[in-house]
Structure 1
Amino acid sequence: MGRALRADAERSVRAILEAAERVLAQDAGASMEQIAEAAGLTRITVHRRFANRQALLEALAVSAKQQLVDAIEEARPDAAPALVALYRVTANVLRVKDTWRFTLSHSTPHTAAAAALWEEIDTRTVGLLNRAQREGLLAPDADLDWTRQVYYALLSEALDRPGAAQDPAAQDPDAQDPDALATLVIDTLLHGAGPRG
């Protein structure tokens, strides 16, 4: 019985977080009542899981960052050459970032749990860039902290490029395809806008 209640609670939390992401992406000032309605739950149920809006935003930040960590792990970056690992990680991260645009692009509360997850993401990213450097993909003297910042900026820009937010039926199919966007990000990171040679 306890396990069923826990599973039910986890489902309602997941429904609330997913609804909050959708609703807040449309209206950053949306109320807890609007989020409850979008989740198909009562306001009381939402307040039982999250005491207030701040607690909900904190949970969103942790959830989205945990999904980024999971996306990196699912790419199994240590099981492939650095170039393949970079593409896999990038495509997976873009999928998560596309789903959690509001939470990952706004200043959401940075709790200790969210900060620890972000530190893990940074560490994993620099580790992968370090491997890329050792394997000759990056210059031996490249500043990896700067490269990481550029990589993060490219990830954000890839999702916001022209054609990415238009009507899906009318847009360039590559504008939102995570694999095509990963190619764009990695090619730009490794080669910039200069000629290949």
Structure 2
Amino acid sequence: MSEVTARPLRADAERTVRTIMEAAERTLGRNPAATMEEIAAAAGVARTTVHRRFATRDVLITAMATWATQQLADAVEAARPESSPPLVALYQATANVLRVKISWGFSMNTAFAQDGESARIYAGVVERCDQLFRRTQEVGILRADVDPVWARRVYYALMHEACQNVSTADADEADTDALATQLIDTLLRGLGTPNPQLT
């Protein structure tokens, strides 16, 4: 991760970093071989500005992966997986995560190949998801004979497939609530009990 993103930034510097990362996401999503010059042009800043914030292309991509993984973790936490009714939390976390994964597809795919901070954050996301799946089983939403970890893996596969059908260009128009409903319905028709409770 870049030195700049590792310490608190002034508001204007933070906006610049976010603008560069958003432009890089769009540019690299279309062309993974795009140069720093192309990213700078897409961000509407000078190439020197990009290099001042991110010394190399690899540093930029690592920062994007870490930032996107943190957004994923925040999306799960916003669903209150420990305190909301499990099925409500599962639906909300799914819709929240779909928004991140669709908007930051290049960065999320890169994050899975990263070590360090991205891997640490992602391990926490997996742990929270496993806890939520155990809760769904405890209240009778997930069948008792289903391994919750396996259910989470199936859920991740469904999430991946749902995201493949929406391009980054269409991210703003994507109905993530409808996608979440379809995804959870598909999951529970295979692994759920006949009448899941919302408690």
- TM-score, with structure 2 as normaliser: 0.85
What is the CA distance between 1:156 and its match in structure 2? 1.2
The structure whose RCO (Cα within 8 Å, separation 6+) is larger is 2
Partners of 2:64 and 2:96 lie apart in 1 by: 19
Counterpart in the other structure of 1:132: 136
The 1:58/1:167 distance shift into structure 2, 3 A limit, reads: closer
Q: Percent of counterpart pairs with the same letter?
A: 51
The 1:74/1:166 distance shift into structure 2, 3 A limit, reads: closer
**Gapped runs of 5+ residues in structure 1?**
none
The 1:166/1:34 distance shift into structure 2, 3 A limit, reads: closer
Partners of 1:60 and 1:29 lie apart in 2 by: 15
What is the CA distance between 1:144 and its match in structure 2? 2.0
The 1:107/1:128 distance shift into structure 2, 3 A limit, reads: closer
What is the CA distance between 1:107 and its match in structure 2? 6.4
Partners of 1:193 and 1:115 lie apart in 2 by: 28
| Structure 2 counterparts to residues 109-128 of structure 1, below 5 A | 109-128=113-132
Maintained 8 Å contact 2:98/2:176: yes
Could you give the per-residue CA deviations for residues 56-102 of structure 1, whole angstroms, max 9, x where no partner exists? 11001101100001111112223321111100000000011110011
Moved over 3 A (4+): 106-109, 164-168
Partners of 2:122 and 2:47 lie apart in 1 by: 31
Could you give the per-residue CA deviations for residues 126-160 of structure 1, whole angstroms, max 9, x where no partner exists? 01001001011112232222211111111111122
Counterpart in the other structure of 2:188: 190
| 1:61 corresponds to 2:65 | yes
Counterpart in the other structure of 1:146: 150
Partners of 2:70 and 2:52 lie apart in 1 by: 22
**One-letter amino acid matched to 1:55:** V
Classify the secondary structure of the residue corresponding to 1:79: coil
Classify the secondary structure of the residue corresponding to 1:77: coil
| 1:181 corresponds to 2:179 | yes
Partners of 2:132 and 2:111 lie apart in 1 by: 26
- TM-score, with structure 1 as normaliser: 0.85
Equivalences, count: 184
Counterpart in the other structure of 1:28: 32
Partners of 2:69 and 2:169 lie apart in 1 by: 28
Counterpart in the other structure of 2:4: none
Maintained 8 Å contact 1:58/1:111: no
The 1:122/1:108 distance shift into structure 2, 3 A limit, reads: closer
Counterpart in the other structure of 2:48: 44
Could you tell which deviates more after superposition, 63-72 or 136-145? 136-145
